[in-house]
Each structure stands twice: as C-alpha cells, then as structure tokens.
Amino acid sequence: MKIKKISLFALILTLSFTLGCTKIITLSKKSNQKQANNSSRQTIDPIKQKLDHMTLDEKIGQLVIVGIDDYTNNEHSKTLINTYHVGGFILFGQNIKNSAQLLELINSLKETNSSNNKTPLLLGVDEEGGRVSRMPSEFVKLPSNAAVGHVNNSNFSYKIGEILGQELKGFGLNVDFAPVLDVNSNRKNPVIGDRSFGSNPPLVSNLGIQTMKGIQSQNIISVVKHFPGHGDTLVDSHFGLPIVYNDIKRLNNLELVPFSNAIKHGVDMIMVAHILLPKIDLNNPASFSKTIITDILRKRMNFNGVVITDDMTMGAIIKKYDIGEASIKSLNAGSDIILVCHDFDKEVTVLNAIKNSVTKGTLPEKTINEKVYRILKLKEKYNLKDTKTTSINIQVINNKINNLLDSYMR
C-alpha cells in the first residue's frame, strides 16, 4: 500500500514536470517565432526590394549618364528617359543660356522622368571653379583650384565647396563632377594645370577633401577625379590616349594619395580617367582596367562607392576603341556608370551594347544588379527626388562669393 502511494505520487510529479516542460517549450517556441518575425522585419532592405521590381531595361538605364544636344528637353532626351530609362544627365555650356533657361530645362527633365520612371535622375555638371565652369554668367566667377591652393586655407576651401554646392542646389542639380584631385606633377600637362590645387600631394588631399565636404554639405554628390591621377600626362584625353609610365610605387607615393584620403573621408563617387599605365596594365586604359578599378581601387583602397568613367566620347576612346565594346569592358572591370556626354547615336549604342551583352552572357545580370544596388543606395543616401525647383536667388549667392573672396583673396 505504501509502495502504491509512492508510485502514484511519482506519477503525478512526472506528469506535472512533463506538462510544465511542454508549456515552457511552447512558450519558448512562440518567443523564438516572435524574435524571428521581428528579425525578418528589421532585415528588409528597401533598396533590394526596389531593385527586385525593376525590369532589365530599367536596370541598364541606371548604368548610363548621358548628355543633351540642345537647350531644351527635346525628342532625344525624352527618348533616353522614356525608352532607355537613363540614370541621369550631365549638362555643358552648350545646354545653358541663362539661369531661367537652365531652371526650365532641369525641371522639364525631372517632369518627364517622374511621369515614366520611379527612380530619380542624377543631374550633374562639371563645376570646378576657374576655367571649368558651367553655371550661367550671372554668377560671380569662383577662383581656380590653383588659386585656392595658393591661399592654402582649409576653411576657404570648404567655403568654396559650400558655394559650389549652393549654386547647383539652387537649380535642382544634385551632382558636381568636382573637385579635381590630380596632383599637378607635370608642368607641361595640357589639360590639368590650374584645375589642380598644386603639386604637393598632402596639400591637394587637404584642400580637395575640404572642397568635397563643402559640396556634400549642400546635399550635392561630389565626384572626385581623375583616378588614378591625370597630373603627369602630356596628352589631353579629350583628343588622344595619354600614356604614363609610372609604376605602382610611384602612384602610391604621389597620385593615389589624395584619392586614398578622400575614401577615408567618405567620398561617394570616383571618376576613372582614360589613361594607359603600361607598368600596371599593358593593354587597357584605367577606365576599363580590372587591375586598376577592381584590384587597386576596390580591393586595395577599399572603395565601396560608385565608380564612373570619364566621358566615353572623348578622343582617347573613340579614336582607338569601339565605344560599345569599351563600355562593356569597363563594366566588367568594375565601373558602375558609363558617362556618354555627346551624340545621341553613341548614347544609344552604349545602352544597346549593354543589353546585348546580357543576352550573350558576357555581362551577367547578377553583376548589373550589384552595380545598380550601389547606384540606388547613393540616390537614397542623398534622398534624391524629381521635385521641381521654382526659383533661384542668384544675388544672395553672389553676395556670399564676394564676401568670401574679400576675406581671403582681395
């Protein structure tokens, strides 16, 4: 009888323990499921979601920035937006008469794009100051980088960048292909000259980075150029292909110094030059050299931002290479955006070449996705929108320029 009581008690105790454990396990499963659901919600990537909903044509369009052949948003530019879904436009003096016309052009491009595409446009100019300026003539001229280098004041350089950014922002532009980070090491260089801050790498680094930060402070994307360094060339790449016989040791000690420091200070986009460096890559210019773009810039220098080529319609390319083939080589080498500044037919040729390369399998769609992701991420970072700009107060900006120049140069 005593044994039966003990056995009954043991059975009750065992059942209680088992039921308790079951309850604990059930609660634990619910808790784990809740954590998993929360984790799932937290790891949703809106950029990836946007990418997943894009067509192949829309993705390809993001890989190209094009120029315009008129003062207005004409049939060519509308076709590039509506049919080819281009990622952006670059404007030149040939597109700019005055501030009213420029504002109307930019707003028209935005309106066309927002009516047909969900991804906002990159809209940029080469606005460096000095002789490379695209802003309307109503603005007071800003000094060249060489003049800024002569002053050699970090605050002055930052303020210059800030005003550059304000000028672009006033029109609704969002990309400045500046500053130049080339070290002017060759006085016979026909294209850089006073576009460089100077011949000293630390000075170019310091002032260039401050200008970059000033531009970024206005929510304008700063594109530093011309990687891996255009300062020791004897040929202008607008007309022919420069050849520079410097090795990697020389580049590490001089040309790459400003770019390396810019990467450490948060540069978002880097432009790669059309320069042949035979001691680094015997066969391919930097703009489509895997050794220079992927091995050096991406892997060794740890740049994870957007890589854009210099203009593919420059003499350095079209006099020696097929523009479509060169563009595919560049994308496979590691660039993200092909810049095609002139000629509607050449722009369409590049866009069609990219699509054909996907069909042939020479440019995998997976590779395109990686590039488009970087581009969308940059557009998201700067919160780009195709919102129209109603007006710009040029006098306010001119007053700032005059006050700045009075403080540092006059």
266-286 tens-digit pLDDT: 999 999 999 999 999 999 999
Residue 234 contacts residue 185 (beta carbons within 8 Å): no
Per-run averaged pLDDT (10 residues), the chain, 410 residues:
45 44 45 54 86 96 97 98 98 96 98 96 97 95 97 98 98 98 90 94 98 98 97 85 94 97 98 97 97 98 98 95 97 98 98 96 96 98 96 96 93
* CA dist., res. 82 & res. 121, Å (int): 12
Q: Where are the domains of the chain?
A: 1-44, 46-408
* SS3 annotation, 31-65: HHHHHHHHHHHHCCCHHHHHHHCCCHHHHHHHCEE
Structure tokens at 402: 């005059």
In single-letter form, the type of residue at position 104 comes to E
Q: Would you state the pLDDT for residue 187? A: 83
Question: Are 342 and 80 in contact, with CB atoms under 8 Å apart?
Answer: no
- pLDDT at residue 151 in the model: 97
- So what's the pLDDT on residue 35? 56
The domain defined by 46-408 folds into TIM Barrel (3.20.20)
State which amino acid sits at residue 382: Y
Residue 13 is predicted with a pLDDT of: 43
Q: Is this model's pTM higher than 0.85 or not?
A: yes
| 51 closest CA partner among 38, 36, 62 | 62
DSSP class of residue 336? S
Single-letter code of the amino acid located at 229: G
Q: Say how far apart CA 315 and CA 322 lie, in whole Å.
A: 12
Pairwise CA distance, residues 142 & 128, whole Å: 9
pLDDT of residue 37: 54
**Active-site amino acid positions:** 238, 310
User: Is residue 336 within 8 Å of 297, Cβ to Cβ?
Assistant: no
Task: Taking the CA atoms of 378, 124, 190 and 145 in sequence, report the sign of the dihedral they define.
Answer: negative
Tell me the DSSP string of 262-327.
Answer: HHHTT--EEEEP--B-TTT-SSS-GGG-HIIIIIIIIIIS---SEEEESPTTSHHHHTTS-HHHHH
Rounded Cα gap, residues 216 and 32, in angstroms: 43
The answer to whether 360 and 369 are in contact (CB under 8 A) is no
